[in-house]
Chain A
Amino acid sequence: MEKILEVKDLKTNFYTYEGVVKALEKVSFKIERGDTLGLVGETGCGKSVTSLSIIRLVPPPGKIEEGEVIFNLAKGRKSRYINLLNQSEAFMQAIRGNEISMIFQEPSSALNPVYTIGDQIAESFLFHREKELLREAIKKIQREIDVEKTSFLKKFKLKTEKKLCEIALKNPNSPLVKIFSFLPFIKSKEKIIKRIAIQKSVNLLRRMGIPNPEKVVERYPHQLSGGMQQRVVIAIALACHPKLLIADEPTSNLDVTIQAQILDLIRSLKEELNTSVLFISHDLGVVAEMCKWIAVMYAGNICELTKMEELFENPLHPYTEALLKSIPRRGTRKLESIKGSVPNLVNPPSGCRFHPRCPKAKEKCTKERPEIREVYKDHFVACHFYKD
């Protein structure tokens, strides 16, 4: 199975007023084509920063210091690995929304309140798939020309529009396109492809399970419920069939029943489009439902990475064990909490960052940072004294 994403030794710092926050110390993991990896951890562990670092949207004063983010820009069978950290911003813009998409926690703030739903989904098509839209437009206009028998004027109009699209397809910067757009009665290129894009948006909404998509396309975000908004966000993210979907706590703000719907949707779309998913959450239950692999993060490091079943049956890292014991489940008699609190990352603990709170900590843990190693097949741990 080929890799779609590999993160190697990622290190990200934030240069704030209070000091340098060492948000990510040395994060490494990989995702294979079609797999889902769940990134679990509590507040401040660095899961969101990891996802933002991958697509290079770390807000200032953040800065990616070291590491590599290798992404597979395969076309068809042939793999093509590129380090995203070395690319230009223009390259990244072509990647975002197109090859790698991201959805966030709060759907109402991910959607622009002054644009209709249709406009927002269409934006994705218009930015990344203009050529495809033009081709479709040409076909559609051709069909209309064939149907149109009576009016000569209409035929002329359609023929001109078709010519316009053909020119735009061959040479996007052609001045002729602009001139044509100024002529009255002839629809400008923008309007033509926008029409097509909106039609595609309607189809996409239908696939998302949204009833009456033709009406929804003209509505504004505030007229939809939270669950519907999140579906729209997912629609925008998946519009261009990205290879990797990064979902940063997409259901944390939704009700449990709506969450179930959304998770089902993501699962079915993943199957259909063979998209890989990096699913970030603080809820181990949600991650367990969605993901084949789970990585547990603490204070900027990955402590444990393994298959989902293996993590629950055989957790090796003390943090994972403690985390599992602190989640209320059916029939829990006693919840165990982890003593202490999440460290301040301006002055993180030396050696292993978990040692102040670890029941198994020994002197080695204060001095030497444990590297993540494969201790059993497909089971990686970063601990000197993991459970044996």
Chain B
Amino acid sequence: MKVSAVRKKERLKKRLEPRIKELKFSLARIRKSPLSLIGLCIILFFVIIALLAPVIAPPKYPYEPYRIPRYGYSTTPHPPSWEHPFGTTEGQYDIFYGVIWGTRTAFRIGFMVVGSILVIGIILGSFAGYYGGIIDEIIMRIVDTFMSLPTLILAMALVTALGRSLDNVMIALIVVGWPAYARLVRGEILSIREEAYVEAARAIGVSDFGIIFKHILPNAIYPVLIMGSLDIGAMVLTAAALSFLGLGAPVGYADWGQMVSFARNWIVGPPGNPLAYWHTVTIPGIFILLFVLGWNLLGDAFRDILDPKMRRK
């Protein structure tokens, strides 16, 4: 009994050993590139904020934590003070609360949108790439149609049709975003499909599904993941733009785009003191900027690390 348990542990260790070695190699490469480290730190910073949001900025409305508390009704924003570390924006919404909980919203948007378009893109791209022929033609023409429409306009149209809410923004972004991934996956599959090991799998008798999911996709996935990580930032930016235009989150929802939207009238202050209300624009703006920058750097780092040709240099 004991012997088999020991053996099982040994086997498990053996299985993990090569993967751990690969992981160590990747981590070492991250450590060598300062920009990747910066990207990683930025994202970790945001992760911590998002996780500790209830602690850092306790919600005023326990069942609606995303509702930014208002401290009054006057329209003029107030500069940062002890009670409001980042000041208040038009309508006396607390900026600090808004950006802290907005981090959670940003992650939600980023992961959900990118996650969905990854899944849709991978499935459709795989079928188009592997089977070719008429399936490929149909899927690619649909992709072409979607890609010929301007993304922002399409997103705006969809949100206007479906109604103003963050979920609808996400749906719009998914609808607009999947074609690029389908195309990318299809391209990767077309090149991997001709590799000898895929032919070897067919010679063994692996089914089509088995080949796609066990052989082709694990090798094709890396460019897609890299594009995905870069897109997380881009999606948050687009969502923020839509919110700024009034098409995104409902008024008072903790979302970075919302915060900038509130600052629309206060970008330039009264003559003689044009930067009086800098905090309303700059602070949410910095959060958006850092978030997108962090994901871009991390995406670049992934590409450098995971590109199999560059790996062993």
- Per the 8 Å Cβ criterion, residues 15-71 of B in contact with A are none
- Per the 8 Å Cβ criterion, residues 34-93 of A in contact with B are none
A12 to chain B: closest CB distance in Å? 18
Per the bound structure, the CA–CA distance linking A385 and B287 in Å amounts to 73
A374 to chain B: closest CB distance in Å? 41
Q: Does A17 contact B (CB under 8 A)?
A: yes
Would you call the interface of chain B mostly helix, strand, loop, or mixed?
Answer: loop
Q: Mark B269-290, 1 if CB is under 8 A from A, else 0.
A: 0000000000000000000000
> Residue of B at shortest CB range from A18?
B312
Q: Does B309 contact A (CB under 8 A)?
A: no
> Residue of A at shortest CB range from B25?
A17
Q: Does A344 contact B (CB under 8 A)?
A: no
B33 to chain A: closest CB distance in Å? 13
**Chain A residue contacts of B313, Cβ below 8 A:** 16-17
Q: Mark A311-340, 1 if CB is under 8 A from B, else 0.
A: 000000000000000000000000000000
Q: How large is the interface on A (under 10, 10 to 19, 20 to 34, 35 or more residues)?
A: under 10
**Chain B residue contacts of A16, Cβ below 8 A:** 313
Per the bound structure, the CA–CA distance linking A16 and B313 in Å amounts to 7
Per the bound structure, the CA–CA distance linking A16 and B312 in Å amounts to 9
Per the bound structure, the CA–CA distance linking A17 and B312 in Å amounts to 8
**Chain B residue contacts of A17, Cβ below 8 A:** 312-313
Q: Mark A5-16, 1 if CB is under 8 A from B, else 0.
A: 000000000001
> Residue of B at shortest CB range from A17?
B313
- Per the 8 Å Cβ criterion, residues 164-179 of A in contact with B are none
> Residue of A at shortest CB range from B312?
A17
> Residue of B at shortest CB range from A61?
B313
**Chain A residue contacts of B312, Cβ below 8 A:** 17
Per the bound structure, the CA–CA distance linking A17 and B305 in Å amounts to 13
Per the bound structure, the CA–CA distance linking A129 and B198 in Å amounts to 51
- Per the 8 Å Cβ criterion, residues 101-131 of B in contact with A are none
Per the bound structure, the CA–CA distance linking A41 and B270 in Å amounts to 81
Q: Mark A105-140, 1 if CB is under 8 A from B, else 0.
A: 000000000000000000000000000000000000
- Per the 8 Å Cβ criterion, residues 200-223 of A in contact with B are none
Per the bound structure, the CA–CA distance linking A196 and B176 in Å amounts to 57
Per the bound structure, the CA–CA distance linking A124 and B312 in Å amounts to 35
B55 to chain A: closest CB distance in Å? 42
B29 to chain A: closest CB distance in Å? 8
B4 to chain A: closest CB distance in Å? 36
A147 to chain B: closest CB distance in Å? 58
Q: Mark B294-313, 1 if CB is under 8 A from A, else 0.
A: 00000000000000000011
B233 to chain A: closest CB distance in Å? 29
Per the bound structure, the CA–CA distance linking A345 and B312 in Å amounts to 16
B144 to chain A: closest CB distance in Å? 28
> Residue of B at shortest CB range from A60?
B313
Per the bound structure, the CA–CA distance linking A66 and B313 in Å amounts to 24
> Residue of A at shortest CB range from B28?
A17
A262 to chain B: closest CB distance in Å? 28
> Residue of A at shortest CB range from B313?
A17
B24 to chain A: closest CB distance in Å? 13
> Which 3 pairs across A and B sit closest by C-beta, in order of nearness?
A17-B313, A16-B313, A17-B312
Which residues from chain B sit less than 8 Å from chain A, CB to CB?
Answer: 312-313
Which residues from chain A sit less than 8 Å from chain B, CB to CB?
Answer: 16-17
A-B contact pairs, 3 of them (CB 8 A): A16-B313, A17-B312, A17-B313
